[in-house]
Chains A and B, each alone.
Chain A
Amino acid sequence: MRLALALALAAAVGLTPGCIRNSARRGIEPIWLEMDPTSFVVGNTTRAEVLDRVGVPSQVLALENGTALYYLLERSRADGVILLFYNQRVESSYFDRAIFFFDDSDVLTEFSVSEGAGAR
């Protein structure tokens, strides 16, 4: 009884608990996740079609013989516990990305889209 009371008292004083959970999103809404990647056809799809379907990109890079469009969304999440003597927090950031390369005729030459948060 004494031990239990002592432990309970120690726990109440020493392990006063708290917790953290937060999440954030920053960047372009990943419309491409809802699209079938095979709907983008190398040698056929144009830059105007990609802009029309996927929207305004995060970056546009001018190449010597074409352009590249880069879309990016960052998702971050943090979980943690706050105790009196010990705190722990784990923060993870995942990125959804899409990149499209076009030649000087604005026709798609290469592209790649991520498959969702946490996917490559």
Chain B
Amino acid sequence: MIRRLPLVLSTALAAGLAAGLGSSCSVVELRIDQGLDLAECNGFKEGEASLGDVLAALGPPVEFGARGGQIALLYESVRLKETQLGISLGAVLGAGAGDYFKFSYGSSGTDRKAALFLFSEGHVLEGVNTLRFEEPFGRSGSIQVLVTVDEVVSTGGLRASPDAFVEPRELLNGIQWSQNLTHSALVELRGARGRMGQHALDPELSRAEANPD
């Protein structure tokens, strides 16, 4: 019995120690609208294909916009993978003392595909462009003392809701905000950075600049 205990105990202690350190690895994968075939998108001939041809082949677009009689269709698919590793001493030292040390590391990779179609006033294809973006989206590691950080890599831009879900009450906000709602006429990729183009007047950005803290 005495000889048996060390193996059992040592294994339990090793597992308990690892658990006590609070180490954990998380893998999160996000898939949005898979199945966009860029070769098929590039197969439409400019000056020949019509709006109806593209809709019949690819289905309804992710976003669409119009300026005058011209129409833009945007198709997009996103695959995002996040890996996070965190270690803290919380389970060993208690909730308070354990906050003195934390280690965290996170990385994200994306595989994004997009196709943009532009049509003339007669609904004839004027141009098509495709994008394949497959590379690390960001990574970060940190050792923290006294500070807790919740989000290591920000992927919020790729998780943005479709503009169709913007609630009508937002139209009652300031005129800057209403004018800059993307579904007013603008077609843009998920994750497009702010403070540019039609977003230059976004009041939220203005407030952030005025109050950086």
Contact = CB atoms under 8 A, between A and B. Distances in A.
B19 A91 contact: no
B52 A110 contact: yes
Given A10-B12, A88-B26, A95-B33, A120 B66 contact: no
Given A6-B11, A89-B29, A99 B60 contact: yes
Main secondary structure on A side of the interface with B: strand
B204 interface: no
A85 B55 contact: no
A90 B79 CA distance: 11
Contact of B4 (A2, A9, A88, A114): A2
B15 A99 contact: no
A117 to B, nearest CB: 11
B60 A90 contact: no
B27 A88 contact: yes
A58 interface: yes
A94 to B, nearest CB: 7
Contacts of A3: 7
Nearest to A98: B60
A21 to B, nearest CB: 15
A27 B164 CA distance: 8
A100 to B, nearest CB: 9
A110 B55 contact: yes
A59 B165 CA distance: 9
Contacts of B183: 59
Contacts of A119: 59
Interface in A1-57: 2-3, 5-7, 9-10, 13-14, 26-27, 42
Interface of A: 2-3, 5-7, 9-10, 13-14, 26-27, 42, 58-59, 61-65, 68, 70, 72, 74, 84-95, 97-99, 101, 109-115, 118-120
23 contacts: A3-B7, A6-B7, A6-B12, A7-B11, A26-B165, A27-B164, A65-B69, A72-B162, A72-B164, A72-B165, A84-B24, A86-B26, A87-B25, A87-B26, A87-B27, A88-B27, A88-B29, A89-B29, A91-B29, A91-B31, A109-B52, A110-B52, A119-B59
Interface of B: 4, 7-8, 11-12, 14-16, 18-19, 23-36, 50-52, 55-56, 58-62, 64-66, 68-69, 71, 121, 123, 162-165, 183
Given A10-B14, A89-B26, A101-B51, 15 more contacts: A7-B11, A9-B11, A13-B16, A58-B165, A61-B66, A70-B64, A72-B162, A87-B26, A88-B29, A93-B32, A112-B58, A113-B59, A114-B60, A119-B59, A120-B58
